[in-house]
Amino acid sequence: MTALDQITDKYLYFLAFEKGLSGKTIESYSRDLSRYLQFLRQQGVKHISDTDTPVILKHLISLREAGLGSKSCARHLVCLRGFYRFLVQEKVFAYDPARHIDLPKSGLKLPDVLSVAEVDLLLKMPDANKPRGKRNAAMIELLYAAGLRVSELVNLELLDVNLEACFVRVLGKGSKERIIPIGTHARKKIDEYIKNARPLLLKKNMSKHLFVARAGKPLSRQGFWKLLKQYAEKAGIKKKITPHSLRHSFASHLLEGGADLRAVQVMLGHVDISTTQIYTHVAREHLKQMHEKYHPRG
């Protein structure tokens, strides 16, 4: 094993056992670093300490020339930024050569963010007179109220929700737990579902899951996605809506309202605040549009 391989293996071990990142994330980082090492070998670089900012930029240019899109190049840079921060921590570098390399803006494009009015309209679509409608209304309300990932939503257990204190306990990426406030609207919808719909959906079955489908099994991610799409069409929303759209809307609406970036980072479960900073761009663009539209001298 070469010195380059050894240092990258040490970094991947650090991500897995100290940062607690998921297996899929580790695999993605491993692929990106392997491609970077291949590039370094082609350049005749034998030790990572021989790299610098121009070498990293040259690698990113080679990726674009190879046909990689902005999003893929941005992901590579995120990987390399984390790698070089680790190398500074390990005293391999006295400074971070990747620190001042900017992410391409087109690589930070987010899915459509719903307006507050569109979210309100979407939340009115489930039929509150039917058990499944009560369940779906509670799920959508909670997804938006807590900014959950769809996998986190469908895997919630009954004991994960504290309606008295208005919070939900979530096991996110890398098995990291976080506690998120849910607000009174979500609390009321969940309470209504638990009392008046969940027993009817369970029939005589038992289940530890909060949101249940047939025979007490949890609703699948695909099943919820399909429901959400149907409600968006029914509401006349033309934007491409996915469960992640509500997570993005949650973050953007909080920041537009003046929420602290680090508080939003904690609620979203982002390890790196640079991931959360993407939403500040979305919020600024929205505010700019509002100013241009409504200010007499916009």
Q: Which residue has better confidence, 5 or 2?
A: 5
pLDDT tens profile 4-23: 888 899 999 988 888 888 88
Catalytic residues: 149, 173, 244, 247, 270, 279
Give the three-class secondary structure for 157: strand
- Residues forming CATH 1.10.443.10 domain(s) in the chain: 116-293
Q: Is 60 exceeded by the pLDDT of residue 68?
A: yes
Distance CA 88, CA 123 (A): 48
Topology of domain 116-293 in CATH is hpI Integrase; Chain A (1.10.443)
Q: Is 60 exceeded by the pLDDT of residue 152?
A: yes
Please give the C-alpha separations between residue 225 and each of 206, 221, 232, 247, in angstroms, as whole numbers.
Answer: 25, 6, 11, 13
| Strands (E) located in the chain | 161-162, 167-171, 177-181
pLDDT tens profile 193-247: 999 999 999 988 899 999 999 888 888 888 999 999 999 999 999 888 888 888 8
Q: How many CA atoms lie within 13 A of 289 on its CB side?
A: 8
pLDDT tens profile 255-288: 777 776 677 776 777 655 555 555 555 555 554 5
* 126 close to 231: Cβ distance less than 8 angstroms: yes
- Residues forming CATH 1.10.150.130 domain(s) in the chain: 3-100
Strand partners, 108: none
Distance CA 17, CA 22 (A): 10
Nearest to 189 by CA among 117, 250, 267, 128: 128
Span 23-50, mean pLDDT?
Answer: 91
Give the three-class secondary structure for 116: helix
Q: Is 50 exceeded by the pLDDT of residue 107?
A: no
Q: The tokens 């469908």 sit on which residue?
A: 154
* Token pair in block for residue 226: 């399909």
Q: What angle do CA 145, 151, 156 make, to 5 degrees?
A: 65
Q: What is the CATH class of 3-100?
A: mainly alpha
Residue 126's pLDDT band (cuts 50, 70, 90): very high
Give the three-class secondary structure for 222: helix
Note the pTM of the prediction, 2 decimals: 0.59
pLDDT of 104 reads 55
Distance CA 33, CA 113 (A): 32
Span 36-64, mean pLDDT?
Answer: 88
Please give the C-alpha separations between residue 236 and each of 54, 227, 241, in angstroms, as whole numbers.
Answer: 50, 14, 11
